[in-house]
A and B are shown apart, each in its own frame.
Chain A
Amino acid sequence: MWQIEEPPSGFLSDAEKAQVDALFRRLVPSDPLRRIPGAAEAHAVEFLDRLLAMSPATYHEIPSWGILYRQRLAQLDQASQHRYGTPLAGLSDRNMVEFLQFLQAGLLGTASGLGADDQKRFFETLHRHCIQGCVADPRWGGNRDRIIWRWLGYLQPAEEL
């Protein structure tokens, strides 16, 4: 039987967490009116914070992801400042959607210090981790209280939340 690694603490700083949170909230958004849960209710940031603190024995890419996030979040923050005059964590919903569209297409421009391919690749990593944080087994720290599973109807009929 395999056992999940329990890192003593998280990997991200509070400022980085706020940045990831802002990105994740637009990747898998919530809709309070239609009662649709998203990355926020799933605590997808906690998932990433714990995952990045795990060792390569859990998965070989984890150390390189840690370095990647540290670097890229700072670069994205810079790009956000440059483009909108606002730090990444403070972007409005509309601007964040636009920002993510640029990142996905590799069109953030040179102010970020990132080439187009680097931008596209980081978007993929971010997107995938966000989805994992929403619907991986809750033992990994996201999908809190199985919230997305319950809403989606995975392993049980769909629940109205």
Chain B
Amino acid sequence: MPRIDKPDVIVVGSGAGGGTAARVLTGRGKSVVVFEKGPQRRADDFLPYDELHYQEHKALRPSVQTDPLIYMDPTKGHRATPSEKWWIGNMVGGSTMIWEANLPRYTAEDFSVLTVMRDSPPGTSTVNWPWSYEEFVPHFERAEWEWGVSGKMNQWPAPHQEPSRPGYDYPMPPIRQHASTVFLMQAFQKVGMHPYLSPRGINSRTYNGRPGCPFCGYCQGYGCAVNDRASSTNTVLARALTSGRCDLRPGHCVTRILWKKNGRVRGVEYKAEPNGKPQVMEADTVVVSIQAIESARLFLVSEIPNPNHMIGRYLTYHTKGSAELCFKNQPVWDEGPDRIFQPRTSLGSLQLRDLYVINDPSTYLTKGGKFSIYDPFTIYPVIRLLWGLRLWGKPLQDRMQELRSRGGVSFSFTGETMSTWDNRVELDARTDPWGVPLPRVYYEHHEYDMALSRYALQRVVDVMVAAGGELRRFEPQGRANAGYGHNHGTLRAGTDAGSSVLDTQCQSWDVKGLYVLDAAWMPTAGASNPGLTTIANAYRVAESIP
């Protein structure tokens, strides 16, 4: 790896957006320095797999003691509460090192939410994105092939799948089906709904020199020691590094973006260790991609001009919700006599988008969301599974007996989320170990979010009950949200400088040469896992950076 001190471009963050930007820019002949706050981790650091060490004792997470966000909980009188940023992967590759790699595309309905919602619910700022789904298609395709997404296009004549051009498909077939797949497909088909095998950044067979997934059972929250799950490090960042034009600096924290009075970016101030001396590196272009809350925080710390006071505003976490059912007549799902299904240590295989747009005269709800469908027995390793039941004594014993012997299904909802002015990131008086003020986050879900979550969950529960299921858990979105992995919108992109922070190329209106490629640019939340769309946008922008 070359040592570069005067790069063409500085990239802050080495995850989904930063890694992709480094790959494209080095491919275009530019020299790039990538700053990454966290350390370089390898397969060795993820072994031996252990739920207590990695999840319960949080070995890979930012410490809630020293590096939390400060949540101002509206249900507790906006009392400041330190909240763990469990979705931040402070390491080379960022959160792509610990994600579940659920990689659907956003759809046309996400790009143009007002074609579905018709008007903006009271108290919200609902806007169409300034790009179309079609404009993103080539970038989605590149993302799917370079990152390695397994799946299958257009499995059903169902709406709201990822529409593709004729002849296109993912580079790999979907991962092996879960034993419940046929049963669930038939149950939903009876009411005209069509779950389908989900696209995953998980190899279903050897691809790009990485093996197929062995279904080890340790996915979200764990590093992939097998290397079958796509990350920035085993895809785009690896390519950037082989170009000879990329200098990756782990353990280097950018503490400030530097800009000139003439409205151009100057470079960054950074530290090589928490108590180190601030140093300066200059470049004509700076790309920030450190997740939406952190980007807004860095903009605020750097005192980026903020004429419309929009920096940090319109933060969105996805509307969530989950439900779980048991099928009393169904023996526990397993891999089957010929081992054609996923073993018990895997997640499930389906997603459902029939409620992406809600056409139901009985409700005012219009834009809906997506379900990921899991096996309640194996969605998490065992500690989290049993702890999550919140049962003890005889009731726990009975539920364990049921889980080991009866099949079930678990639904996880990712729904459209209203953007409101008051949901925002500010700076707290406290600082992190690098001396940077902590983010202070105000967040309260809109009535629409909560009604949507409840409605959508009830719809799928009704179908499952008709198919013989008994409800075991029903948890729609509540008003408070102390933090959730999908965070977007704090630096909205738009066509008008008066009502956005970034232009349509995700460049700051006020500091030219400063780009943001994490999901902070998303004008609205959309209703699917945002990873692939974030990556596709990084390809789009990085190709056009002058």
Chain A contacts to B: CB under 8 angstroms: 1-2, 4, 26-29, 31, 34, 36, 38, 58-60, 97, 100, 127-128, 130-132, 134-137, 139-140, 148-149, 151-155, 157-158
In the complex, whether B57 has a CB less than 8 A from a CB of chain A is: yes
CB proximity of A121 to chain B, nearest CB, Å:
15
CB–CB B383/A132 < 8 A: yes
Query: 4 closest pairs, A vs B, by CB?
Result: A135-B382, A59-B57, A136-B52, A27-B392
Enumerate B24-51 residues with CB–CB distance to A below 8 Å.
Answer: 44-45, 47-48, 50-51
Complex: chain A residue closest to B345, CB-CB: A155
Give the residues in chain B near A153, CB-CB below 8 Å.
332, 344, 404
CB proximity of B470 to chain A, nearest CB, Å:
20
In the complex, whether B393 has a CB less than 8 A from a CB of chain A is: yes
Can you list 23 A-B contacts with CB-CB less than 8 angstroms, sorted by A residue number?
A2-B45, A26-B392, A27-B396, A28-B392, A29-B394, A29-B397, A38-B397, A59-B56, A100-B392, A130-B392, A131-B383, A134-B386, A136-B56, A137-B50, A137-B51, A148-B382, A152-B403, A154-B381, A155-B217, A155-B344, A155-B345, A157-B334, A157-B344
In the complex, whether B363 has a CB less than 8 A from a CB of chain A is: no
A59 and B404 alpha carbons, distance in the complex (Å): 31
Give the residues in chain B near A132, CB-CB below 8 Å.
52, 56, 383
CB–CB B57/A26 < 8 A: no
CB proximity of A119 to chain B, nearest CB, Å:
15
Complex: chain A residue closest to B382, CB-CB: A135
CB–CB B382/A140 < 8 A: no
CB–CB A36/B401 < 8 A: yes
Chain B contacts to A: CB under 8 angstroms: 44-45, 47-48, 50-53, 56-59, 63, 65, 217, 332, 334, 344-345, 381-383, 386-387, 392-394, 396-397, 400-401, 403-405
Complex: chain B residue closest to A36, CB-CB: B397
Give the residues in chain A near B57, CB-CB below 8 Å.
58-59
CB proximity of B322 to chain A, nearest CB, Å:
20
Count, A-B residue pairs, CB within 8 A? 85
CB–CB A1/B48 < 8 A: yes
CB proximity of A78 to chain B, nearest CB, Å:
23
A139 and B345 alpha carbons, distance in the complex (Å): 20
Give the residues in chain A near B65, CB-CB below 8 Å.
60
A59 and B401 alpha carbons, distance in the complex (Å): 32
A90 and B13 alpha carbons, distance in the complex (Å): 57
A131 and B345 alpha carbons, distance in the complex (Å): 19
Among B59, B382, B387, point to the contact of A154 (Cβ < 8 A). B382
Given contacts A26-B393, A153-B344, contact A1 B44 (CB under 8 A): yes
CB–CB B47/A97 < 8 A: no
CB–CB A29/B393 < 8 A: yes
- Tell me which of A38, A131, A134, A136 has the highest count of chain B C-beta atoms within 10 A of its own C-beta: A131
Among B44, B50, B217, B397, point to the contact of A139 (Cβ < 8 A). B50
A121 and B58 alpha carbons, distance in the complex (Å): 20
Give the residues in chain A near B400, CB-CB below 8 Å.
36, 152
CB–CB B386/A60 < 8 A: no
A132 and B50 alpha carbons, distance in the complex (Å): 12
CB–CB B332/A135 < 8 A: no
Complex: chain A residue closest to B385, CB-CB: A135
- Tell me which of B44, B396, B403 has the highest count of chain A C-beta atoms within 10 A of its own C-beta: B396
Give the residues in chain B near A36, CB-CB below 8 Å.
397, 400-401
Give the residues in chain A near B47, CB-CB below 8 Å.
1-2
A135 and B403 alpha carbons, distance in the complex (Å): 14
Give the residues in chain A near B345, CB-CB below 8 Å.
154-155
Complex: chain A residue closest to B401, CB-CB: A36
A34 and B402 alpha carbons, distance in the complex (Å): 13
CB–CB B405/A158 < 8 A: yes
CB proximity of B379 to chain A, nearest CB, Å:
13
Give the residues in chain B near A4, CB-CB below 8 Å.
53
- Tell me which of B52, B387, B393 has the highest count of chain A C-beta atoms within 10 A of its own C-beta: B52
Give the residues in chain A near B403, CB-CB below 8 Å.
152
CB–CB A135/B344 < 8 A: no
Give the residues in chain B near A139, CB-CB below 8 Å.
48, 50
A155 and B381 alpha carbons, distance in the complex (Å): 10
Given contacts A2-B59, A31-B397, A140-B52, contact A149 B392 (CB under 8 A): no
CB–CB B405/A136 < 8 A: no
CB–CB B397/A135 < 8 A: no
Give the residues in chain B near A128, CB-CB below 8 Å.
387
Given contacts A132-B56, A158-B332, contact A149 B393 (CB under 8 A): no
Give the residues in chain B near A148, CB-CB below 8 Å.
382
Among A1, A58, A136, A152, point to the contact of B51 (Cβ < 8 A). A136
A58 and B334 alpha carbons, distance in the complex (Å): 35
- Tell me which of B332, B397, B403 has the highest count of chain A C-beta atoms within 10 A of its own C-beta: B397
CB–CB B386/A135 < 8 A: yes
A61 and B489 alpha carbons, distance in the complex (Å): 34
CB–CB B382/A152 < 8 A: yes
Q: Add 4 more A-B contacts to A153-B404, A154-B382 (CB < 8 A).
A: A36-B401, A135-B386, A136-B56, A155-B344
Give the residues in chain A near B45, CB-CB below 8 Å.
1-2
CB proximity of A147 to chain B, nearest CB, Å:
12
CB proximity of A29 to chain B, nearest CB, Å:
6
Given contacts A1-B45, A2-B45, contact A131 B393 (CB under 8 A): no
